[in-house]
Structure 1
């Protein structure tokens, strides 16, 4: 009797174990789903923080460009000021010599010369000399006056530029404070986001969702590109010759495992925050917006199915529809998309599929 019941007891235990395992899987799935839902909500907060940072960084970058232009203008004005002052000093000396010369030769008595009927030729030469001297002196005085007026204008311009410089410095300080505050707020959100995605399963699902978002964005960009075909000739003839998109240390991650079965589709360039991200070749901006997992992204269409993608930016300098030249700044290096350090995420795609960027860039 005992022998006959044993298989049924084993079967009962196996059934119970299976049910327990299924319950554990269900709980795990619910836990992952809960983590992803919390992460999704925090991604919204992260997006708002990073967009505020982008706005502040872009404004700061613009102010810094104005500062450079102002300082360059002041250097040019001071150079011209020095030139004019030197010229005025020389002209003053020349004019003084002419006045002294006129005084020294000013003993001619024209009436006496006429009454004494002095040589007509000599008289004519004297008159011509005085006319020449007076004309030269008059021209010198006019030039002296014009230079004096220009110097006055330059001095006024320098005062205006110096006031403008102070205003720009004040604006820069305020923008820097806004940027710092935004970065602090972002760090708090990022910390919550990292805590929300605890398990490997949740991390993999998050990466897969991010990748799907990127595919959708690229597909939409391709659809728009097809509506308005460009005359750009693609990148096929430029393999190994394309410009580096940013200055920094290249992490050749393409094709390597990222998490689970998710693999890297591009490379990372570790660079200084706020430094320029440049277009690798001329093209048209198809996408310029924030994208979950990739932060602020720019996608450029180079024609014939070739596109380049630039992610993790601090700020975008061009909008969708803009045409850009090779080497033109299109963004500022940042750490948007939840990055812990400033870097550029870079991809090259051909007809939607990623290709190894290191084979195309001039490293």
Structure 2
């Protein structure tokens, strides 16, 4: 028996031993059951997240209701603000008018005082002389009478002007009180406007803060829900791949196990027979699983170096030989395109590379009919 025949014989024996050890559809069924359990658990989580999202949506709706109520309040407050501002403008106009009246009254009072000064200047010398000589001689009665009448008239006019001056002074005093009251009213109105504005700002900030918190929480829940739904889709895809989408349905579209050039092609009739393909690689490149499955062998095999064998369900196996290292363990479930190792030295090619086989039951099948073309 040739050296290559011994190798193929050992590979065939290895597959036979794996089958005798019970590697069968039970492994695929176990994976299907696990996936179904994961999908069910994730769906339950999705249900909880939807309930939480519904609760947040109701809270958000209530917030919008509160928003509408606050917007109505804002509208009413703004109207009141406009009215108060109009009142304040009127008060300021009245205050300016009062100040103008005050200036006029002050001017009038100044004129009256000046007039009184002039009258007193004229009256005082005459009065002083009469007091000195008690109207002088009364021999000239007519002259004395004229002096008396003139003095009486002058006194009366002086008294009248003094009364006017007093009235003007009183008016000025009242006007000043009016200004004081107007100023007080203006300050009160202004204080009320400021308080209204502060309250309005506080309501707005409170509302915006509440809406922001609800929105942030809702967005977070929506993102979590999206992630869960994506997880369910991925799990369903895997489940379909293991059930309705069997590896057989992927014939002709399976990914290549590694990058490189095919140097040895499937030829079971050759002497010695070649039951797989040999791929030459540029250095130690990644080796990937061609389909979902379970690692059933991860060890050295005489003549093939380190070998990983993966069971894909329904009696399909893939073999990866001449690995420099492997990253999986026996019994481990692997994903499609998951990296399982690195290519090592391929003796027949005298370069780094990978020997790859695909088998149904124990019979090797041509991998190139199953792998996608570049």
Taking structure 2 as the reference length, what is the TM-score of the superposition?
0.40
Taking structure 1 as the reference length, what is the TM-score of the superposition?
0.41
Larger radius of gyration, structure 1 or 2? 2
